Homo-oligomer: A and B are copies of this chain.
Amino acid sequence: MRIGLLFQPRIKASEAHARRVQERLEGRSVDAWCDSSWTVTEHSQALEGSDLVITFGGDGTLLRAARAAAPFGAACVGVNYGRLGFLTEFDPDEFDAQLDRVVDGGSWLEERVLLDWTHHANGVESTAGLAAADVVVGRGRIARVVEIEVRINGVVLTTYMADGVIVATPTGTTGYVQAANGPVLHPEVRDLVINPIVPFLTPSNAIVVGHDVRVELFVYTTHEATLSIDGQTDHLVASGDKIVCQASEHVARFARFRERDYFYATLAEKLRWRVPRDMPRPIPDSG
């Protein structure tokens, strides 16, 4: 068995934890490798033979691992050293007691849609990659709207004058999409979301499209525009460039140790979907 351990290089405790776990795993004769999550893309070979990748960081660290591991089929699980830890499975202080369970299985596998994106500049494909949460095309440093024409399967939906447009997987909907008034999609839903960011004069409703749809974003601006992947990597975009998104053949695999319907409870607890506890029921008359 082979397990990768990835830590967030800016959080000292996450690296220490990962190193400790590496020792424990090696003591159990598990082949464990450990490195910064920021260099994960250089570890194709290690990932190829790995059964599991454990991240010590926030949701961002886990998304980074999920993108890298997807082509090799390795499952990922997160120990939360971040803020919300919406996607992670364990708190740091409960993880060590769970390590045997993590290694021996006892989890179920949650598969989530990934996005393939390509950036076309001057008519040719300039960059391409995977996104686990969202592809955001929008304004650069200058706080001025850009224009983004959205085509779905070649049909023009509209041209947004906006801060940007998000194309998201269900994983992305509890992040930027939720803040942008968009819908939250259950992780097992296979559809994609297109959600404008602060659009001027057009409806701000998200649109949910089927799994097999091709979304094209044509950018027009007199200033700079950017393409952001999972809120992590950024690329400059020029006026006239095109970004194309569609569901990937790869999927993100998360090893889950909680019950299958954990998602709604997590929404309620971590994203404030539950009303404050001291609200009695039924509502007393208001006057």
Contact = CB atoms under 8 A, between A and B. Distances in A.
Interface of A: 8, 10-11, 37-38, 57-61, 63-64, 82-83, 136, 138, 140-147, 152-159, 161-164, 170, 173, 175-176, 178-186, 188-189, 191, 193, 197-210, 213, 220-222, 224, 226, 228, 230-232, 234, 239, 261, 264-265, 267-268, 271-276, 279-287
29 contacts: A60-B287, A82-B286, A83-B279, A83-B284, A141-B224, A142-B228, A143-B228, A143-B231, A145-B179, A147-B281, A147-B282, A147-B283, A154-B261, A156-B265, A157-B264, A158-B273, A159-B279, A159-B281, A173-B208, A178-B205, A179-B200, A179-B201, A185-B208, A189-B191, A189-B208, A203-B271, A203-B272, A207-B267, A232-B286
* Max chain B C-beta neighbours (<10 A), residue from A8, A182, A208, A272: A208
A201 B156 contact: no
Given A58-B284, A231-B286, A264-B156, A163 B200 contact: no
B179 A162 contact: yes
A226 B276 CA distance: 26
